[in-house]
Structure 1
């Protein structure tokens, strides 16, 4: 089989079986076949350098780096943008054909390929989030078990401390079979808290060594976790044409349902990076607390709070913060407070 005429390849990724759909410059199908994982790189070594399209999913950045090293122009696309090109029948061959069609569209939006360092940095955030969820589950379990013995403790930040103090006081009055489970939960909580603190120190040190992260931390409501997540995820701010496009990438812009010249805006789309979006909204709540104490320093937030609920205002602040972050990354500047 001759591969010299291939100009575009659509690659549908999976764990072990991959589907390839390759066409020439006029759209004729040259290759349509399945490949095992150990056959994939050998197959592409036989192809001339061309455009390769893939969906941005698990392992996609790894394969993009591997194929890029072979000289291919690799483009990653959000799966939601590829779905309209799938014809009747959902299977690997149809998906690969849809990818091959979508990657050639001039208006298609692509996902930047992350290098190993950026993926490792984001892995720290994901691991920290995992530990936080596990700690929350253990706290809920501890409070639930204590409630079974009539010991009620508060929720929130100080709930864990109150629960541990209540456990220490009531230990001698609890049934002996409960001592071991409570001890294991307490030990696991201490271990997770230490691991989270260790990751926090690592992320904070990375922020101190990176100019982009230091600039982001000058924005009100942006701490070291948010700054590190944005700096690691974005990489190059020029990948986004405008601040609004960056905010839309994070899912912080209103969902539109407009037709017939009538513009209808709904809630935010939530179609972007949920980790950064959550961090920005949490940081915005801290800004709201400061604005309520020192309203003259945040006049527009104070006026907005008079008309809108605090949760809606926090999302608006997160949207604005995302746009400011894009501007600082693009211009390599630090945040300057507006004159009051």
Structure 2
């Protein structure tokens, strides 16, 4: 077992033998680590799932080694005494030997490329939202109240026209600049959306996931980039838990009380699934289907926000089932009961 504590320029190594005793302690550059691993017989190489781990993991896997990536929070309990790079490497190796340890699936270069595209798109969406909020605030300070929402605001701004705004010439020019910036961001975001749509059309798994109500192309490609074939999760419930969508529980006096969701795991995926569930819920709840009956029963006794999260968790479990069993979405869930 070889544990590697990754650094930007240098890495610390700790090698364990079959009894768990430390037999190697070294510090090397990243390039030297790859060369050193190539000289070793096939073994297990463990690392924390951090920046650069997937690239090195693919290099080690190509050399015939078994790669185990772990979340840093699962390694922390195995660090002894004061934290140092050598002790971190030893803790990584020891944590990887535990039979109940949860490992991160090694991502391919295609998955990482897809993940980068989603992060770039999200950055543009946040920038556009900031511009829209600034535009509304500038007009509100001058007594001009525009509706919420990007589409409604831009439509109203086009109806009124820049000349119809009771503001100074300089402010009018600023509003025009902000509107033009938003238009540029709209075009860039649309280009990413079209690229995701093209990727989904050519990928069988993405097509299957896109057919799920509330998932769509954006969520399907984001899920594939993050979880691959879903093999890292034993059950769909584990995937929902990883996304922080399952409720926490508290037991007292023999009674179990359901609390809020944990909000752990991948924040971007959780947000996207909740947005998708919120958009699909009114349509699904209005249909005489099995899922519609479930939603209506939930809405009769719970707040709509609670039901949205429950639907997002159900979507996550459906996603896992389709990925692991390579099946298409069962349209019976959205057909009349």
TM-score, normalized by the shorter chain, greater than 0.5: yes
Q: Which residue of 2 aligns with 1:3?
A: none
Whole-angstrom distance in 1 between the partners of 2:247 and 2:73: 18
**Among 44, 52, 56, which residue is 1:59 paired with?**
52
Q: Which residue of 2 aligns with 1:314?
A: 308
User: Aligned in 2, Cα 1:68/1:202: closer, same or farther, shift over 3 Å?
Assistant: same
SS of aligned partner of 1:337: helix
Equivalent pair of 2:247/2:262 in contact (CA under 8 Å): yes
Whole-angstrom distance in 1 between the partners of 2:160 and 2:8: 48
Whole-angstrom distance in 2 between the partners of 1:177 and 1:316: 49
Superposed displacement of residue 33, structure 1: 3.0
**Among 24, 29, 33, which residue is 2:22 paired with?**
29
Superposed displacement of residue 92, structure 1: 2.0
Name the TM-score, length of structure 2 as normaliser: 0.89
Q: Which residue of 2 aligns with 1:125?
A: 118
SS of aligned partner of 2:8: coil
Equivalent pair of 1:151/1:166 in contact (CA under 8 Å): no
User: Aligned in 2, Cα 1:313/1:120: closer, same or farther, shift over 3 Å?
Assistant: same
- 1:11 aligned to 2:4? yes
Structure 1 spans left out of the alignment, 5+ residues = 1-7
Whole-angstrom distance in 1 between the partners of 2:148 and 2:225: 33
Aligned pairs (5 A) from 1:79-94: 79-94=72-87
Whole-angstrom distance in 2 between the partners of 1:307 and 1:239: 34
**Among 315, 318, 330, which residue is 1:324 paired with?**
318
Equivalent pair of 2:103/2:232 in contact (CA under 8 Å): no
SS of aligned partner of 2:15: strand
User: Aligned in 2, Cα 1:159/1:100: closer, same or farther, shift over 3 Å?
Assistant: same
User: Aligned in 2, Cα 1:180/1:63: closer, same or farther, shift over 3 Å?
Assistant: farther
Superposed displacement of residue 117, structure 1: 0.7
Name the TM-score, length of structure 1 as normaliser: 0.88
Q: Which residue of 2 aligns with 1:280?
A: 273
SS of aligned partner of 1:307: coil
Aligned pairs (5 A) from 1:145-156: 145-156=138-149
Equivalent pair of 1:18/1:35 in contact (CA under 8 Å): yes
Structure 2 spans left out of the alignment, 5+ residues = none
Whole-angstrom distance in 1 between the partners of 2:54 and 2:250: 33
- 1:110 aligned to 2:103? yes
**Among 325, 331, 336, which residue is 2:331 paired with?**
336
SS of aligned partner of 2:3: strand
Deviation string 1:43-80 (CA, Å, 9 cap, x unpaired) is: 32333321111111111111111222222211100111
Higher mean displacement: 250-259 or 278-287: 250-259
Higher mean displacement: 187-196 or 142-151: 142-151
Whole-angstrom distance in 1 between the partners of 2:222 and 2:277: 16
Superposed displacement of residue 324, structure 1: 1.5
Whole-angstrom distance in 2 between the partners of 1:260 and 1:63: 50
**Among 178, 191, 194, which residue is 1:185 paired with?**
178
User: RMSD across aligned C-alpha pairs, in angstroms?
Assistant: 2.4
**Among 194, 212, 216, which residue is 1:219 paired with?**
212
Whole-angstrom distance in 2 between the partners of 1:330 and 1:100: 29
Equivalent pair of 1:142/1:163 in contact (CA under 8 Å): no
**Among 295, 299, 323, which residue is 2:293 paired with?**
299
Superposed displacement of residue 222, structure 1: 1.7
User: Aligned in 2, Cα 1:44/1:306: closer, same or farther, shift over 3 Å?
Assistant: same
Superposed displacement of residue 304, structure 1: 0.9
Higher mean displacement: 15-24 or 264-273: 264-273
Superposed displacement of residue 267, structure 1: 2.0
